[in-house]
Structure 1
Amino acid sequence: MSRRPFPTQRRHTLFFLDQIRDFAPVHLDTEVDATALVAARRRAKEAGARRSVVAHVVHAAAGVLARHPEANSAIQGRLEPELATYDTVSAKVTLDRVFDGRRVVLATVIPELERASLADVQAHLDRVAAQDPDSSPEFAPIRALRALPWREALDRFRSAAGQLELRPAVTGTFSVTSLGHTAVDGFHSVGGTTVTLGVGRIADRPVARDGAVVVAPVLRLSLTFDHRVIDGAEAAEVLTEIKDALEAVR
């Protein structure tokens, strides 16, 4: 056995997991008939544009969350809890990146999605994907956190993540995380927001249509919600409406 200090490149992940200990998760999942989604991505590619599955999910979910303000909310406190309902929709999207030589999970927040087009969402994701976490301004707060002494870094993280008014900019009002680039069919994740969407891969599966079984591309989509903020019926409606929006993509 060997022991070593916890890697500073991942301390933000450890701080985040400490921050969400009070989260009360409930997990839902569904299957999305991705026929229209696959066709839309193919048409975009033929036109010289990139439209990722994550971009489609973010854009569809943003429209749904704008219609469900109770789900676009956050909670703070135990003895005297407060709820904040936001008039803007922003998504925290996780990223698999290499930071100072170590593979880590980072995130970007896409703001003001109630006014953003699908192309705007994709442009943000592409811009961040092209940046180097070791030097780009996008990830300067993570580098600054790493440079601080452990206790000071933890206190600063807690202070920023714990302020309800800062949530849209710091953690987003909902989260999206994807493992769809691998052989993962589906999974559940807690993203620190009231609603977190987990995106699996698109794979050909048997689907019933008009009384017959056909093969179609299917996307596994999960939704984890904080039961302190909303109940199951609200969360189920949100997931159903996101599914419907993705199946109606043009």
Structure 2
Amino acid sequence: MAAQVVVPQLGESVVEARVARWLKKEGEAIAVGDPLVELETEKIDLEVNADQAGVLAKILRQEGEDVKVGEQLALIEAGTGAAAAPASAQSDAPAHATPAPPEAITPAVAAAPAGAADGPRSTPAARKAAEMHQVDMAQVQGSGNAGRVMRRDVEAAATQAAPASPAAPAPAAARSAPAPVAPPRPAIAPGSRTEERVRMSKRRLTIARNLVEAQRTAAMLTTFNEVDMTELMGLRERRKEQFAKRHGVGIGIASFFVKAAVAALKAFPRLNAEIQGEEMVLKHYYDVGIAVGAEQGLVVPVIRSAEQLSFAGIELAIRDFAARAKSNTLTLEDLKGGSFTITNGGVFGSLLSTPILNPPQVGILGLHKIEDRPVAIKGQVVVRPMMYLALSYDHRIVDGLEAVQFLVKVKEYIEDPGHLLLES
């Protein structure tokens, strides 16, 4: 009797996935624990493994199809076909199949998808990029976790493989001819103006839906301030070597802002709440989400109970999130929940922006690029490293006065980090 391969439980609130890639072919021998298929969800990508040995008898859902939790993906026959044949006797076709004439086999070989199970492991985005740039995935060196090929690897390979050709020298007659007064419009070669339709990933669709929903349902406003980073940067410079030796991690600015945000949330608790029906749920714990740019879109892993962590604990958590977002190994548990979010567009060069709420949260703090600017201090114009801060909030439960005072409190803690250290 054939065993069913079904869509597993995908985590909190995730009920649907997309079949990204089959890692085994019909008729191929399967061992217990072998990865069979890669599923793409709105939050992470995951592999479904075989629960029993045998042969992959039939694939029921094809790549690109959307599936729900519990639906059948494939059938595994125990102890038949290729599983029972010695390795030397196995061919490209299943061992139990009647040999087909060459003309019947050729189309099947030609239709084999790029990046099949015997090629290097790669992300769905990398495979799409390989198709677009016509790059052989087998020749690409992966930089992801366990050699996984990422989109950036494919794009780098495409750039190296297609150097710009030097322009041919113009004929002598053309060089001596006078330039026309009004050059003719360039001729458009047939097929040169192309368009491409790219199906959005489950994660990108979810990001799009959540952002629109946040703007539709919340009374979102943003207040701004600026902070002088002189004292904080001086403290980091004085303590960075000692901190790294003691804790094995460098000290960045993010841990200071997490600490400052937690202290300010304690003073203004409605920014650490959410709305449920006609009630406000005030949270007396501080699960701070840190927005991280990943290959397939922004993700927000959560630092649990940030109020209980040291500066080193926060730095280690942030470094771990960044590494696992890059290698696409974040889990659903990493992304679940959160009571407040911090996003730092400054690492990408953003000088000022308006962050969008991360529902059901009612507050998000945006950090930006540190830039030397002239400022007036005690009647004197001096140049200081300045950063713009932005706080977006849900005006349904957070008043403008609270929002402004919250941001002022964060500014005070950052400009006097010694006071922040005493508070924590």
Instruction: Decide: shared fold, TM above 0.5.
Output: yes
Is the contact made by 2:291 and 2:300 (CA closer than 8 Å) also made in structure 1?
Answer: yes
Residue 32 (structure 1) aligned with residue 224 (structure 2) = no
The structure number with the bigger radius of gyration is 2
Alignment of 1:62-211 (within 5 A): 62-77=262-277, 81-98=278-295, 102=296, 104-131=297-324, 136=329, 138-140=330-332, 170-192=336-358, 193-211=361-379
Closer, same or farther: CA 33–126 of 1 in aligned 2, 3 Å: same
| CA-CA distance at 1:249 after TM superposition | 1.0
Residue 10 (structure 1) aligned with residue 176 (structure 2) = no
| CA-CA distance at 1:2 after TM superposition | 3.5
C-alpha separation in 2, matches of 1:205 and 1:131: 35
1:55 maps to: 255
| CA-CA distance at 1:6 after TM superposition | 1.8
- Amino acid across the alignment from 2:350: V
Show structure 1 runs of 4+ deviating over 4 A.
Answer: 132-135
Alignment: residue pair count: 216
| CA-CA distance at 1:71 after TM superposition | 2.0
Is the contact made by 1:24 and 1:227 (CA closer than 8 Å) also made in structure 2?
Answer: yes
- Amino acid across the alignment from 1:117: S
Residue 213 (structure 1) aligned with residue 381 (structure 2) = yes
C-alpha separation in 2, matches of 1:19 and 1:170: 18
C-alpha separation in 2, matches of 1:208 and 1:94: 33
- Amino acid across the alignment from 1:16: N
Residue ranges of structure 1 left out of the alignment (5+ in a row): 143-168
| CA-CA distance at 1:132 after TM superposition | 5.2
Deviations 1:50-83 (A, max 9, x none): 2222222111101110222222111133xxx221
C-alpha separation in 2, matches of 1:34 and 1:132: 28
Whose strand fraction is larger, Structure 1's or Structure 2's?
1
Residue ranges of structure 2 left out of the alignment (5+ in a row): 1-194, 419-424
Provide the identity percentage: 28
Secondary structure at the counterpart of residue 238 of structure 2: helix
C-alpha separation in 2, matches of 1:205 and 1:16: 36
| CA-CA distance at 1:9 after TM superposition | 4.1
C-alpha separation in 2, matches of 1:30 and 1:105: 25
2:237 maps to: 42
C-alpha separation in 1, matches of 2:416 and 2:398: 26
- Amino acid across the alignment from 1:71: L
C-alpha separation in 2, matches of 1:43 and 1:109: 29
Residue 233 (structure 1) aligned with residue 401 (structure 2) = yes
Is the contact made by 2:288 and 2:341 (CA closer than 8 Å) also made in structure 1?
Answer: yes
Deviations 1:2-45 (A, max 9, x none): 43322234233134225423011111111101001111222232
Higher relative CO (Cα under 8 Å, sequence separation at least 6) belongs to 1
- Amino acid across the alignment from 1:68: F
Secondary structure at the counterpart of residue 180 of structure 1: helix
C-alpha separation in 2, matches of 1:23 and 1:73: 13
| CA-CA distance at 1:134 after TM superposition | 5.6
C-alpha separation in 2, matches of 1:132 and 1:204: 31
Is the contact made by 2:292 and 2:325 (CA closer than 8 Å) also made in structure 1?
Answer: no
